């Protein structure tokens, strides 16, 4: 199975929401999230639970937990590439507004992929 290119979404201001979010997490959680991102690169569309799941409207989540806290990394596919939108800490479910934010970023990405991504 060929590797999937994983990109990180970048906003108009040049910041990468995922990277800012990861920086604020404990090292152990960062490591778990990075392992999930690596697995996404290895497995692409084939990655499933417990490591990943589909949310709605083409948005997916990478799943990591640590000490009872559930961390999610939201992403979408653009062809064979996976684009990571951002990360969230969830309680019962990923808030609808977070999914909507990922959808908005997907739309912006599709208009200008080069402007809105950095590589893995």
Average pLDDT over residues 6-35: 95
Q: Where on the phi/psi map is residue 59: left (φ > 0), alpha (ψ -120 to 50), or beta?
A: beta
CA dist., res. 39 & res. 3, Å (int): 10
The tens digit of pLDDT for each residue in 38-48 reads 999 999 999 99
Domain boundaries, the chain: 6-114
3-class state of residue 11 by DSSP: coil
More confident residue, 116 or 85: 85
CATH topology for 6-114 is: YaeB-like fold (3.30.2310)
The tens digit of pLDDT for each residue in 63-115 reads 999 999 999 999 999 988 999 999 999 988 999 999 999 999 999 999 998 88
**Listed residue (42, 47, 79) closest to 62, CA to CA:** 47
pLDDT for 1: 58
pLDDT of 119 above 60 = no
């Amino acid at each position: 199975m060929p590797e999937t290119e994983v990109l990180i979404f970048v906003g108009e201001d040049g910041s990468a929401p995922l990277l800012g979010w990861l920086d604020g997490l404990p090292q152990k959680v960062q490591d778990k999230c990075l392992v999930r991102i690596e697995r996404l690169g290895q497995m692409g569309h084939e990655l499933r639970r417990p490591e990943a799941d589909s949310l709605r409207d083409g948005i997916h989540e990478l799943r990591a937990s640590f000490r009872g806290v559930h961390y999610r990394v939201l992403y979408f596919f653009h062809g064979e590439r996976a684009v990571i939108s951002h990360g969230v800490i969830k309680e019962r479910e990923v808030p609808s507004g977070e999914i909507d934010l990922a959808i908005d970023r997907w739309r912006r990405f599709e208009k200008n992929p080069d402007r809105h991504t950095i590589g893995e």
